[in-house]
Amino acid sequence: MSALRELVKNPSTVLVDVRNQWEYEMEHIPGAMNIPLDQVPAKIEEFRSLQKPLVIYCRSGSRSGMAVSILKQKGITDVYNGGGLGDIQLLIN
């Protein structure tokens, strides 16, 4: 968990919220990108172009886990499951 905390606090880390747009609009980590899980496969090149590392989060950690799996299968290895929004908020504070 401390390694994930360091990643999340690192200014070069990109946070990606894979929840639906309406969930993101209700609450999200400031500066996080929103790429809903169902769009992840179509946006692989966008993920490749992002600065690394990537920390992916959602509501509970399930969708972010699926997104991390998809990205790793496509060769994007510097990507981590940040769990749910609440988990990330705790790590930042």
Strand-pair partners of 81? 56
Catalytic residue among 37, 58, 79, 88: 58
| Gap between the Cα atoms of 93 and 83, Å rounded | 15
Judge whether 18 and 63 are in contact, CB under 8 Å: yes
Structure tokens at 5: 């905390």
SS3 of 15, please? Answer: strand
20 is catalytic: no
Neighbours of 90 (CB within 10 A): 13
Catalytically active residues are: 58
